[in-house]
Structure 1
Amino acid sequence: MTQPDRAILCATLTLRKCDEENFVAWHTREHLPERLAIPGFLRGRRFECTDATRCYLILYDVESLSVLSRPDYLDRLNNPTIWTRAILPTFQDGRRAAYRLLAKAGNAEGAFVMMVSARPSDALELKKEITPELLDGWCTRPGIARITFAEPDQTASMHVTEESRRSGNRFAEEWIILVEGISEEHLRDFARNEFTASRCYSWGLAGHESWKTYGLQVSVAEV
């Protein structure tokens, strides 16, 4: 199914062990509810990398890319709370981007997600190859709940705000495929079968360096 208007805000970051507990409390108790209170934010989720590197994946589903350029959202970014101001400098290797949702399949939510990053040499060819029909077929594989394909939008990603200055987040320019499943094993089996050598080459995937698997910690949806 194509999704011409929907968008995703995606961020990854790592933390030192001494900062982790405070980050989890802040993001769960303050930041997620704060973002979901902004009109156009539909759902927020936080995942932790399963390889124990203290790496986090944060995903927000929004109604459209325009939500991420509206005054109410930018005002929030330029007026962070005291807790947010204290947390943002602890981010390490932060990467963030707004993504235009090109296609998705599956209506369930997986407990695990594999984020696959692509640097295509031919973006138009990648769009032709990763079709809604392909994603529908992928979702019939055992243990796969949902798959999303999205491209980064630099304009919606690059607003200079107080939060961006404090966090030091860099723009994540890779295209992404988010594969949600019921277990790490199912995601690994999927990757072995579908991310073949020829696809890795043509889509700009650098083997296992291009994807990581994360487990869901918390999810907040619009009520």
Structure 2
Amino acid sequence: MALLGKAAIAMWWDMAPEWRAEFEDWHSHEHFPERMGIPGFQRGSRWADAGGGEGFFILYELDRYETLVSEGYLSRLNQPTPWSSRLMPEHRNMVRSQCHVLESAGSALGGCMLTLRCSPASDGAQPLRDYLRGQAQACAMRPGTTGAHLLQTQTPDIAATTEQKIRGGDQAADWIYLVSGYDQQVLEAALETVLAPAALQAHGAGAVEFARVFTLRHSAESAARQPT
């Protein structure tokens, strides 16, 4: 199964060890249910740094890009709960990208997720997309991997929300490539071969800004998708 929809929110941040237990409690038992109750939100997943670091990766799969500016979503961003307001300042080094899904092949969920952030060179957008599309199709069938997905950030032209103001502002990625799988070593090997900076730059990429493997901690789907 590919990503559930045509848009996504991809986020990375660091959480200090002393906040981690409360953060995961809040994120699982308040924040995910809240977000999954917003029309257009299909599935959310939370991933932790596979190397034991402080980083988390969060992916929300949306039915369409317009959900990012919907009344239901903006009302939650501008009316955070007291628990959300308590934890938002602890989201350090926040990168929050609101994206179109350009390519999606195979399964979105496995035990592991490789996340890569890059930008195409000045004339490299189409060659890079072609290369990553081919890699996505291969990942859907390659031993150790289950699928891959290419996202491109397009930040909506809206005012900063209350949540953003509490965090102090967010950064955004440009292109995002995700590879899901069940074998962490296979994903890490891809970063040394087909997804190494030299390989990506040979196919149209500029600088590769970030590449890391995460492991699944929790996922949730929209109530509308759950069987009755």
**Of the candidates 130, 133, 152, which is equivalent to residue 132 of structure 2?**
130
8 Å contact from structure 2 (residues 141, 147) kept in 1: no
* Alignment-derived partner of residue 27 in structure 1: 27
Deviation sequence 1:108-155 (CA, Å, 0-9, x none): 621100001112113344234333x44212322211111001100122
2:156 aligned residue: 155
Deviations 1:5-49 (A, max 9, x none): 611101111112221111111101100000000000000000000
Structure 2 residue matching 1:218: 3-state secondary structure: strand
Distance 2:47 2:135 in 1: 26
Partner of 1:104: 104
Identical pairs, percent: 26
Aligned to 2:219: 219
Tell me the distance in 1 between the aligned counterparts of 2:167 and 2:206: 28
TM-score (norm 1): 0.89
> Within 2, Cα distance between the matches of 1:106 and 1:190?
17
Q: Deviations over 1:83-119 (max 9, x none)?
A: 1111101111111011100011113621100001112
TM superposition score normalised by structure 2: 0.88
Q: Tell me if structure 2 keeps the 8 A contact 1:2–1:103.
A: no
Root-mean-square deviation over aligned CA pairs: 2.1
Structure 1: give runs of 5+ residues left out of the alignment: none
Q: Pairwise mapping of residues 61-210 of structure 1 onto structure 2 (< 5 A)?
A: 61-107=61-107, 109-122=109-122, 123-131=125-133, 133-155=134-156, 159-196=159-196, 197-201=198-202, 202-206=204-208, 210=210
* Distance across 2 between alignment mates of 1:169 and 1:28: 24
- Partners of 2:207 and 2:114 lie apart in 1 by 13
Give the 3-state SS of the residue equivalent to 1:103 in structure 2.
strand
- How many residues get paired? 218
Deviations along 1:48-73, whole A, 9 cap, x unmatched?
Answer: 00122211001000001100101111
Partners of 2:88 and 2:163 within 8 A in 1: yes
Contact 1:95 1:169 in 2 (8 A): no
Which is helix-richer, 1 or 2? 1
- Structure 1 residues 116 and 24: alpha-carbon distance in aligned structure 2, compared to 1, 3 A threshold: same
For 1:51, the equivalent position in structure 2 comes to 51
